[in-house]
Amino acid sequence: MKKVKMGMVGGGPDAFIGAVHRMAAQLDGQIELVCGVFSSTPEQSISFGKQLGLASSRCYGRFSDMLEQESQLPAEQKMELLAIVTPNHLHFSMASEAIKYGFHVISDKPATTSLAQALTLARQLASCDVLYALTYTYTGYPMVKEARHRVLTGELGQIRKVVVSYQQGWLGDMQAEGSKQASWRLDPVQAGLSCCMGDIGVHAANLAEYICDQPITHLCADLSTAHEHRVLDDEGTVLLRFGETIKGVLLASQVATGEENNLSISVYGEKASLTWQQQVPNNLIIRFADSSTQIIRSGVANHSSLAIRNTRLPAGHPEGYIEAFANVYRNFAAQIRAQQAGKSADDAAMDVPGITEGIRGMLFIDSVVRSSESSQKWHAVQGAQLHD
Amino acid sequence: MKKVKMGMVGGGPDAFIGAVHRMAAQLDGQIELVCGVFSSTPEQSISFGKQLGLASSRCYGRFSDMLEQESQLPAEQKMELLAIVTPNHLHFSMASEAIKYGFHVISDKPATTSLAQALTLARQLASCDVLYALTYTYTGYPMVKEARHRVLTGELGQIRKVVVSYQQGWLGDMQAEGSKQASWRLDPVQAGLSCCMGDIGVHAANLAEYICDQPITHLCADLSTAHEHRVLDDEGTVLLRFGETIKGVLLASQVATGEENNLSISVYGEKASLTWQQQVPNNLIIRFADSSTQIIRSGVANHSSLAIRNTRLPAGHPEGYIEAFANVYRNFAAQIRAQQAGKSADDAAMDVPGITEGIRGMLFIDSVVRSSESSQKWHAVQGAQLHD
Amino acid sequence: MKKVKMGMVGGGPDAFIGAVHRMAAQLDGQIELVCGVFSSTPEQSISFGKQLGLASSRCYGRFSDMLEQESQLPAEQKMELLAIVTPNHLHFSMASEAIKYGFHVISDKPATTSLAQALTLARQLASCDVLYALTYTYTGYPMVKEARHRVLTGELGQIRKVVVSYQQGWLGDMQAEGSKQASWRLDPVQAGLSCCMGDIGVHAANLAEYICDQPITHLCADLSTAHEHRVLDDEGTVLLRFGETIKGVLLASQVATGEENNLSISVYGEKASLTWQQQVPNNLIIRFADSSTQIIRSGVANHSSLAIRNTRLPAGHPEGYIEAFANVYRNFAAQIRAQQAGKSADDAAMDVPGITEGIRGMLFIDSVVRSSESSQKWHAVQGAQLHD
Amino acid sequence: MKKVKMGMVGGGPDAFIGAVHRMAAQLDGQIELVCGVFSSTPEQSISFGKQLGLASSRCYGRFSDMLEQESQLPAEQKMELLAIVTPNHLHFSMASEAIKYGFHVISDKPATTSLAQALTLARQLASCDVLYALTYTYTGYPMVKEARHRVLTGELGQIRKVVVSYQQGWLGDMQAEGSKQASWRLDPVQAGLSCCMGDIGVHAANLAEYICDQPITHLCADLSTAHEHRVLDDEGTVLLRFGETIKGVLLASQVATGEENNLSISVYGEKASLTWQQQVPNNLIIRFADSSTQIIRSGVANHSSLAIRNTRLPAGHPEGYIEAFANVYRNFAAQIRAQQAGKSADDAAMDVPGITEGIRGMLFIDSVVRSSESSQKWHAVQGAQLHD
């Protein structure tokens, strides 16, 4: 089986997430990094590419050169998939360009920096055969897939309430503002409408919608900042409604002192409830009406097919963030191969976040910011119908 | 040292909470149950009193008889303190009657069923020397007192956010409605304006105000019921503000399937954050900005004076709900004795919830219900100034 | 129902365990403390008794006076039950004296300081109608009773292995030696053959034998001391055999720095395994062969009858050490009442550790010390047949 | 930077551990799989190699062919490192052959099937420049390295006791015996002297020796089998001594029903104690004498250099088994590169288990089996002096 040949834009020496994308892409031996432009400084880009062990001829100094030159290579050699790991404001234009050349795209989140751009991208994708994936990492965890399965099969009964919380503390300290990570996130020009909700709240919203298979239709947001001079939110709470029957609440903070990357979700149904915590990702807790509590563990044989197919190791051998990330890559690689083979992709290959989730994310951010500015309680998430 | 002589109204054979009050009162050997009226049926009341080992002459059939006859006994014998453990709608009138006779009162929560009654009771208490306590059990836990201490001494820095959650599942099942516990709580006549918020949400609000030493000033509530025919809420989420700087969110549910009595609170400050969970009550978790996490354990020597004085056992010997409840009784007994001795009560003796907390509770319930009915986002908790 | 009238010997002002016994005895309102001798100094004893609220005439200065005078009081008044909470070396003689007067005895552990004494006491009890209980607290926890039930009913299948561990750290520090608690435990004259194994190892052995309903028949011990000048063990590990089929290991330490009172047990069977931890006492964890794990919680309706009868509160309301201790008292009070009424005591009333467990404990201590001194691997626990 | 070119022997389609080795080797992009012989059936080997995306000319049918042909390729192309992932009884001869050809070797554990072979291999390595690594995965976890660091720097004070436990349940069920995994492990011809101790006990022993930096010098073993017809142990307990002062106990079982891969270790020192659990690998718990407990988390900045260098992600992003395994590969690759560059390898590169640990493992297995058969309590681990 030939590996999918991947190029990368962004992800140079200091970029944490670029390294994660490379590890995730390569973990399963299904994808091979063949070319890239890793920095806006051409010399730095080329030198870094060589450090990664790429052939010199495939280390590019400019994005447009990479697209142009790769497109002219013979099929056995040329890039098939582009990974976009640049700062957010470049995601849209780069994805759009690559699609025009016919390269499949896997983009770091968010898809774009505005709802309009996301819709434009969706229309472009709808009119061609190019495949597109968005790395919402957290839905890549097998126990998240198992949670969704248990909800969809009715084990929890009618869902009543969803509580999703994403707590980080790193932005709480004023000194953190000096860092590269902080400065662009707090800058409206680079980050868009929101800092905390755009960066992590949107992960929480995606997780809730994925597990419950329901879109957020209305919300009531209370955003704030811990430091007066900041113009974008660094924390907030959002009341949620998923249609008529499901209520929820979403908490997100980047100033929750001492918290690391504490994303967790509880879903309460008529018959049972479940809890999953990203920092203990191999556990899924299910509580039944008689107070008995079960700890469901990843790697066990009797799980749903999607959970099993997204697990590499037997129970008791912890898998973590890189493996969840790699699941997105592996499944997307299978989607690409199915298309290349003229076959329909199977469930696992299709279980990859794409432009629909990208649009949902932009809608969420947009709605949360508007709601927070309003004195009215409820705000309709307009465009929620796009989900279908 | 002579025990404080206590009478009880309510708490007959089927009443769970009556038995808890008796265990809590007697645990430390500071209070002696000497009389009572345990049921609205005189025969049943008397027979139950005898079962408890009371002298026949002190087993009363009617509340008014108990007040009248006890008031005429010699000082060495007569009841000094009345414990009210009846259904809610009787709390106010019974407390008011007992106060007129000069008996100290310890009442199960809520103090009354309306804000107006609570204010009336406060005025009555202000005009006499009778002492009054309200059994908000959860602030009786030593690790809650330690949490408050850490907030007050500035260890957490300026507080930014409070997340308090109280999840129960027992009312989720329609069959539960047949139970005695459920039927009065869901009945507006007996329960007042709210079921879930009145029963448990108010505990969560009290816990947050106690630990942060700040009143809730504004809120935005979203209450609902899991079953259409119910007229009172059985779950809800409330956005909170404590003055200008502290934000918060309160979750409460009695239909969270599989949850037992899961009350927990996290307080996020500028320098550190803390978490306490009622089901693991001997632990207090503190997280610092450098990601180090400490587990503070009850029974250890270097705690605050209030934590130490509300702990009976060395570390590693779990104390639970009854001990927390007993702390309210023991501290209130000390308050009574100090008054009797003409001394001022010390910090521990004064650290008992009273009518101020009763008023705060009624304000909370009232505000939450009004807010939930409103399309405006924020609702001012009027009367918050009464806190001082 | 009349309360059982109890006297106490020992447990004066500084004695932690005396206060625990009084709280445990009184918690459920089934037992009333009516007299006592609380100190070897008569004045101090009498003054302390008055502090506890006892009638002056029932505050004794000497143990022999209490026995003599109480025995002459009318039946409605006189002590029925003696609680012995003195230092260990007095347990045997005081129990023996009280039994001669016909008083029931509840003794703090250990029953005696030698096996010979324990056998003597057993013979004395066999020849009269006096009831005797030994406060092995830890088997009083409802989840321990549930664990035993699950073993006895075969839910775990044939038991293969038992791992029991009791870790404390308080004696690790040389400064601790100055304390009253340390000095007698490290003194062979007062403590007997062993410090750590006699004080806490014996609790672990009792817990294992109770849950598995099997006596330890052979063992191989490795005892040691953290500080050279100590003559008694302060930690040790013991390989165990329970008859032919069950193997085990027992760890105990009082020098395990940072540990509080960390007693835990895991029992591995052919079909399932279980774990209980004293510091999280309301949980019982059961793991099945398919890797699913259940958390069994105290206070839930579908437990065994003994677990339910030893629980006071609904699930989610933690019960702790005092409640476990109170279960021993409450069950023993029921045993006494049944005898007084000429009825046979029920299962719950009979589920109280007595002289059999006292003998087992002395056998364990004796065997462990001998084994540790031997270069042979296995040592038979002689007298194990006494269990039947 | 050029990748280290790796060949593999073993690890065909059904071999779980072969896939893990490939993921671990490739995760960090420092090693490239260039050739292999994956099965004892030549056709199957070649076909599987192609599936992995290897060039046809580098998919070999026989091990000897691979060694021969690879040795004749130009330096830029040829294999530099051989990964041995065959059944145990082939490890020794294959490693020995590869070393003769000058290929570096990374071998799955155990190094050999006898102590004599391990010593032979050590002598062979001592006489040449070939590097050798052994994949004791668990010491690859960053929190294990942090634990070792805390012990070595004296934070725990003088070590008193080590408790290490490795519990698995998969071999408890008779049906498991039919599996490929079970059949060779229970066969003395293929597995050697021991099943459980050889397979997992040796991991536990290695973990203890690594963290404490002390060899086990004496032991007392009690091995057994859950099923009579088995000739090798499937569980056991071993009392340990590390020189004069440190005592310990090692538990290992493959028949502990419901356990997955529960390896944990507690180290008790004079000043503090620590606990690490493989199934929650990003936590290191440290308890101090004042009962305060700290949870040390991987990914935090103030850790030891080795912990930091073996972590890829910031705190709160879980890393697991594959990452721990990859640390062995990444560090060994750095060791190879340092040698190639004529530089001395740094601390991280040298922190890789090698033939010394291989010998220690064989000594442990040999000693445990002999001790278990003896009626003497203590058995000296002969050859312990080889550690230096």
* DSSP character at residue B35: E
Which residues on chain A are in Cβ contact (under 8 Å) with D314?
16, 260-261
CB atoms within 10 A of CB B331: 25
Interface test with chain C among B51, B283, B313, by most C beta carbons within 10 Å: B313
Q: What percent of chain C has pLDDT over 70?
A: 98
- Residue B150 tokens, joined: 């850490």
Q: What is the pLDDT of residues A219-236, one digit of tens each?
A: 999 999 998 888 999 999
**Contact (CB<8Å) A292/C300:** yes
Structure tokens at C78: 């006189």
Of C136, C74, C70, nearest to C97 by C-alpha is: C70
Confidence tier at D383 by pLDDT (50, 70, 90): low
In this prediction, residues C295-312 reach a mean pLDDT of 93
Nearest to C258 among D173, D289, D375 (CB): D289
**What is the average pLDDT across A328-350?**
97
- Please check whether residue C291 touches D, CB under 8 A: yes
Q: Distances in Å between the alpha carbon of D123 and those of B319, D99, D100, D130, D356?
A: 61, 12, 13, 12, 11
Mean pLDDT of D256-268: 97
Domains of chain A, residue spans: 4-130, 140-309+355-380
pLDDT digits (tens, 9 = 90+) for D199-211: 999 999 999 999 9
* Structure token digits, residue A207: 């997780």
Longest Cα–Cα distance of chain A, Å, equals: 65
Give the whole-angstrom CA distance, residue B145 versus residue B211.
Answer: 7
Topology of domain A140-309+355-380, CATH: Dihydrodipicolinate Reductase; domain 2 (3.30.360)
pLDDT of residue B177: 74
Between CA B371 and CA B382 the distance in angstroms is: 12
Nearest to C376 among D260, D271, D377 (CB): D377
Distance from CA of A383 to the nearest CA of D (A): 33
pLDDT in the model for residue B244 = 87
Burial of A302 (0-12, 13-18, 19+ CB in 10 A): exposed
> What sign for the dihedral angle of Cα A359, A365, A368, A372?
negative
Q: Quick one: pLDDT at residue C383?
A: 64
Query: Given pLDDT bands bounded at 50, 70 and 90, which one contains residue B179?
Result: confident
Residue contact D23–A22, C-beta within 8 A: no
Partners of D300 on chain B (C-beta within 8 Å) are 290-292
Neighbours of B3 (CB within 10 A): 18
Query: Options 3.40.50.20, 1.10.287.110, 3.40.50.150, 3.30.360.10; which CATH number does C143-313+356-380 get?
Result: 3.30.360.10
Copy the structure tokens of residue A320.
């973590």
Please give the biggest Cα pair distance in chain D.
65
* Nearest chain B Cα distance for residue A222, angstroms: 8
pLDDT tens by residue, B374-387:
999 999 998 644 43
Residues of C in contact with D222 (CB under 8 A): 220, 239, 247
Asked if the peptide bond before residue C110 counts as cis, ω within 30 degrees of 0, the response is: yes
Q: Is the Cβ–Cβ distance between A348 and A335 less than 8 Å?
A: no
Which CATH code fits A4-130? Answer: 3.40.50.720
The whole-number average pLDDT for the span C369-379 is 97
Please tell me which residue of chain C has the smallest CA distance to A286. Answer: C294
Average pLDDT over residues B138-164: 98
Please list every residue in chain D whose beta carbon sits closer than 8 Å to the beta carbon of residue C287.
169, 257-259
φ, ψ at C114 (rounded to 5°):
-150, 160
Q: pLDDT at residue D386 above 50?
A: no
d(CA B209, CA B217): 11
Structure tokens given for A363: 């809608």
Strand order in the sheet with D104-107: D31-37, D4-10, D81-85, D104-107, D132-134
Give the rounded distance of the alpha carbon of C347 from its chain centre.
19
Q: Collect all residues of chain B within an 8 Å Cβ-Cβ radius of residue A261.
A: none
Packing angle, helices A321-340 and D321-340, rounded to 10: 90
Please tell me the class of the D144-313+356-380 domain. Answer: alpha beta
Q: Can you give the pLDDT at residue C227?
A: 86
Cite the beta strand spans of chain B per DSSP E. 4-10, 31-37, 81-85, 104-107, 132-134, 159-167, 218-224, 235-242, 246-253, 262-269, 272-277, 283-288, 293-297, 379-380
Confidence of residue A359 (pLDDT cuts 50, 70, 90): very high
Q: Tokens 């949870």: give the residue.
A: D295
Alpha-carbon span C204 to B89, nearest angstrom? 50
Residue C315 near chain A (CB below 8 Å): yes
Q: What angle do CA B54, C313, B62 make, to 5 degrees?
A: 35
Do C268 and D251 count as a contact with CB atoms less than 8 A apart? no
pLDDT of B20 > 50? The answer is yes
Contact assignment for C169 to D235 by CB distance below 8 Å: no
Closest chain C residue to the Cα of A290, Cα to Cα: C300
pLDDT, mean of residues D150-176: 93
Q: Which of D251, D286, D375 sits opposite C249 (nearest CB)?
A: D251
Residue in chain D lying closest to A168 (CA)? D316
For B317, the closest of C29, C315, C321 (CB atoms) is C321
SS3 content of chain D, % helix, strand, coil (to 5): 40, 20, 35
User: How many Cβ contacts (< 8 angstroms) between chains B and D?
Assistant: 34
Q: Do D26 and A26 touch (CB under 8 A)?
A: yes
Give me the residues paired with residue D293 across strands.
B295, D287
pLDDT in tens, C91-148: 999 999 999 999 999 999 999 999 999 999 999 999 999 999 999 999 999 999 999 9
Provide, as residue numbers in chain B, all residues whose Cβ is less than 8 Å from the Cβ of D296.
292
Is the link from the previous residue into B318 a cis peptide, with omega within 30 of 0? no
Whether the CB of C108 is below 8 Å from some CB of chain B: the reply is no
- pLDDT one-digit tens code per residue, D231-252: 999 999 999 999 988 999 999 9
Sheet holding B104-107, edge to edge: B31-37, B4-10, B81-85, B104-107, B132-134
Which chain D residues touch B296 with a CB distance below 8 Å?
A: 292
Average pLDDT for chain C: 94
pLDDT given at position B383? 64
Looking at the domain B142-313+354-380, which fold is it?
Dihydrodipicolinate Reductase; domain 2 (3.30.360)
Phi-psi region of C154 (alpha: psi -120 to 50; beta: other; left: phi over 0): left
Distance, CA of A187 to CA of A192 (rounded, Å):
8
- Chains with at least 3 CB pairs less than 8 angstroms from chain C: A, B, D
Q: Is the pLDDT of residue D178 over 80?
A: no
Question: Rounded to the nearest 10 degrees, what angle do helices C115-126 and C355-373 cross at?
Answer: 160
Is residue A346 within 8 A of residue A334, CB to CB? The reply is yes
Distance of CA B198 to the CA centre of its chain: 12
Which value does ipTM take for this structure?
Answer: 0.94
CB contact under 8 A, B319 and C317: no
Average pLDDT value for chain A: 94
- Of the pLDDT bands very low, low, confident and very high (cuts 50, 70, 90), residue D313 is very high
Q: Is D46 helix (H, G, I), strand (E, B) or coil?
A: helix
Chain C residues whose beta carbon lies within 8 Å of the beta carbon of residue D289:
169, 172-173, 257-258
Q: How far is Cα D63 from Cα D95, in angstroms, rounded to an integer?
A: 11
Asked whether the predicted pLDDT for residue A384 surpasses 60, the reply is no
Measured in whole angstroms, the distance separating CA D73 from the mean position of its chain's CA atoms is: 31
User: What are the angstrom distances between the C-alpha of A333 and each of A37, A99, A346, B268, D32?
Assistant: 21, 17, 12, 42, 20
Q: Which of B66, B67, B108 is nearest to B87 (CA)?
A: B108
Q: Is A279 helix (H, G, I), strand (E, B) or coil?
A: coil
| Segment D351-360, tens digit of pLDDT | 999 999 999 9
Residue A383: pLDDT band with limits 50, 70, 90? low
Q: What is the dihedral of CA C227, C229, C234, C237, to 10 degrees?
A: 80
User: Does A1 reach chain D within 8 Å, measured CB to CB?
Assistant: yes
CA distance D156 to chain C (A): 9
Q: What value does the mean pLDDT take over residues D102-111? A: 96
Separation of first and last alpha carbons in chain D: 35
pLDDT digits (tens, 9 = 90+) for B317-329: 999 999 999 999 9
The Cα D22–Cα D10 span in angstroms is 11
Residue at B4: amino acid letter: V
Are C4-138 and C143-313+356-380 in the same CATH fold? no
- Which chains reach chain A with 3 or more Cβ–Cβ distances below 8 angstroms? B, C, D
What is the model's pLDDT at position A387? 39
DSSP-derived 3-state class of residue C266: strand
Where residue C52 falls among pLDDT bands split at 50, 70, 90?
very high
CATH class of the structural domain C4-138: alpha beta
Residue D283 has a pLDDT of 97
Q: Which residues contact D116 (CB under 8 A, 6 or more apart)?
A: none
For chain B, the average pLDDT equals 94
- In the prediction, which pLDDT does B302 show? 86
> Quick one: DSSP state of residue B345?
-
Hey, which residues 202-261 in chain D have their CB within 8 Å of chain A?
259-261
Across the interface, whether the CB atoms of A279 and D322 are under 8 A apart is answered: no
- Choose among C245, C191, C164: nearest CA to C365: C191
Inspect the interface and report whether the beta carbons of A315 and C290 lie closer than 8 Å: no
Interface test with D, best of C217, C257, C261 (most D CBs within 10 A): C257
Residue A388 is predicted with a pLDDT of: 37
pLDDT at C37 over 50: yes
Q: In whole angstroms, what is the distance from residue B309 CA to residue B312 CA?
A: 8
Residue D359 structure tokens: 């010998």
Q: Enter the tokens of residue B228.
A: 């259409």
Q: Which residues of B touch D315 (CB under 8 A)?
A: 291
Compute the distance between CA of residue B45 and CA of residue B50 in angstroms, rounded to an integer.
9
Burial class (CB in 10 A: 0-12, 13-18, 19+), D364: buried
Quote the mean pLDDT of chain D. 94
| pLDDT score for C387 | 39
User: C239–D235: do the CB atoms touch at under 8 Å?
Assistant: no
Residues of A in contact with D203 (CB under 8 A): none
Query: Which residue in B291, B297, B302 is closest to D315 by CB distance?
Result: B291
Counting residues of chain B whose pLDDT is more than 90, the rounded percentage is 86
pLDDT tops 60 at residue C346:
yes
Identify the DSSP state of B112.
-
Contact: D293, B294; criterion CB under 8 Å: yes
| Spacing of C-alpha B325 from chain mean position | 9
- Pick the more confident residue, A172 or B167: B167
Question: Between helices D321-340 and D16-26, what is the axis angle to 10°?
Answer: 60
Does A293 contact C at CB distance below 8 Å?
A: yes
- pLDDT the model gives residue A290: 84
pLDDT digits (tens, 9 = 90+) for A75-90: 999 999 999 999 889 9
Distance CA A256, CA B160 (A): 8
Range of weakest confidence among A190-199, B33-42, B52-61: A190-199
Q: Percent of chain D, pLDDT > 90?
A: 86
Distance CA D205, CA D220 (A): 13
Phi, psi for residue B245 in degrees, rounded to 5: -105, -30
Contact between residue A260 and residue D315 where contact means Cβ atoms under 8 Å apart:
yes
pLDDT in tens, C165-209: 999 999 988 777 777 778 778 888 877 889 999 999 999 999 999
The Cα–Cα gap between C32 and C27 comes to 10
The residue among B273, B284, B287, B291 with the most chain D CBs within 10 A of its CB, best to mutate, is B291
